[in-house]
Amino acid sequence: MTHPPGPPIRVRRGPVVIGVDSSTQSTKAAVTDAGTGTLLAVGRAPHTVTGADGARQTDPEVWWRALAAAVAEGLRAAGTEAREVTGIAVAGQQHGLVVLDAAGRPLRDALLWNDTRSAPQARALAEKLGTQGWLDRTGALPVASMTATKWQWLREHEPHLAEAAAGVRLPHDFLTERLCGTAATDPGDASGTLWWSTADSAYDPVLLELTGMDEELLSPVAPGGGRLAGHLTRAAAAHLGLPAGLPVAVGTGDNMAAAVGLGLGGAGLLDHPVVSLGTSGTVFAASRTRPAVPELAGFASADGHHLPLGCTLNCTLAVDKVAQLLGLDRESAEPGAGLVLLPYLDGERTPDLPHATGLLTGLRHASTPGQLLGAAYEGAVFTVLRALDALLGACGLDPTAPGPAALPLRLVGGGARGRTWVETVRRLSGRPVILPEATELAALGAAALAHAAVTGADPVAVARSWNLGEGRELPPLEGDMATWERIGSVLEQGTGTLLR
């Protein structure tokens, strides 16, 4: 005699936390076993990004709806009941400008990090203090990505909205405030605004006056990482399907959260720098020192130390666009064979060329579509690795150390799962590469922040106990110096063309 199957047998496990990565393109909610860091499931929900001619913006209400959808999908996929969740934290895309009315409603779509319309305002701000003045205060120079430049754009182009603003938020602290009703941010994300001084660990009154910003409009900055922002309100609990009163951590920016997920803490020795290949390309490393050089953003880390970072605008999406134009699969690339393609399709941040367009040179009758695509990979990777050299040099390390003596790179992001991306990084860097087994590192870093807020633990220590940075190590390849020098030469010679 057969019997119908019964309900699934639930495996008893420890407390569960939810780490949220609200990125440019989507929200991901990582339902995570707080004891082991095991990723039980990831819920996803897409965002809508609009704009042309340098404009990139999203209605913040899209993020709020996506958060609820991603949490619901994650809980369902994990087979987790809402009552098992003990805490939640949000990591968000950096720099975005969210302006709110007195009721906490957005006055307009948020200006995103890759919106380059504020390039003129960035140049004007840079001139007011000069390179050294900005580096001394913030560790970074004004570029169109930064929040304060977008605020200047708003003041000039939509002054009625700037005057009506009752609150100014970053994407992650907009969502955190929606969750718990309390405005709060952290040193890491605050350090990407140009209002926060990494030298003084405070909002800088000179910079606030310079940009016409009232500190009362900004979120208070909680010191260190893993702090409690508040508890889930009844309205937010109903929106998410989670228990009211759930602890909500302060959260941080997505790059800072990924550093937490990898167990990088500024109190320790600079170890493996990280290369993240996503919509943007980023390089960062936790540091005990505060580097202040023009090529980097001298951010704070989520734990209140330092996270120097270089960021490029054009990475996986730009290369995918080239593949689409050529009608090729993204893995159908060949080495560029004398071609140079700088895929600066959305302007560029590093180097600071906000009005740049793509540049192709070296094309011949014998050139193949695969070589064109390979040249796009090489151009994108070269740009990221140049930022890496600046980071290592600023931290007192030799960026030219060869072969086995070279510092290994942790390679993360969507590109780290692509064969051509990995091999191009190995070929152009000449460094060993570590591919962490864990994915969704920003969301898992947020999960560590949530667990720390609940328990009072150090979030970096939590993530280290989860071993998220471990993975397969690939030996170094001989550096392709010919390609490196060819791209570098074209970039230097073509800067005037790219600026037009």
Q: Indicate the domain borders of the chain.
A: 16-256
Structure token pair of residue 115: 């919106």
Entry pTM = 0.86
pLDDT of residue 8: 37
Q: In the chain, what is the straight-line distance between the N-terminal and C-terminal CA atoms, in Å?
A: 79
CA angle 222, 449, 241 (to 5 degrees): 105
* Rounded CA separation 297/4 (Å): 60
Structure token pair of residue 426: 């190995």
pLDDT of residue 269: 47
Residue with tokens 């095991």: 38
Q: Which residues are catalytic?
A: 254
Structure token pair of residue 447: 């999960």
pLDDT of residue 293: 86
* Rounded CA separation 472/434 (Å): 6
pLDDT of residue 271: 56
pLDDT of residue 11: 47
DSSP designation for 348: B
* Rounded CA separation 195/193 (Å): 5
- Half-sphere exposure in the Cβ direction for 405 (13 Å, CA): 6
Q: Are 410 and 436 in contact (CB under 8 A)?
A: yes
Q: Are 338 and 364 in contact (CB under 8 A)?
A: yes
User: What crossing angle do the helices spanning 459-466 and 441-455 adopt, rounded to 10°?
Assistant: 120
List the chain residues with pLDDT less than 70: 1-13, 266-271, 401-405, 495-500
Q: Which of 177, 97, 87 is nearest to 145 (CA)?
A: 97
* Rounded CA separation 230/381 (Å): 41
Exposed/middle/buried for residue 335 (C-beta within 10 Å: 0-12, 13-18, 19+): middle
pLDDT of residue 445: 96
pLDDT of residue 223: 83
Residues near 105 by Cβ (< 8 Å), separated by ≥ 6?
Answer: none
> Burial letters for 232-260: b for 16+ Cβ neighbours within 10 Å, e otherwise?
bbeebbebbebeeebbbbbbbbbbbbbbb
Domain spanning 16-256: which superfamily? ATPase, nucleotide binding domain (3.30.420.40)
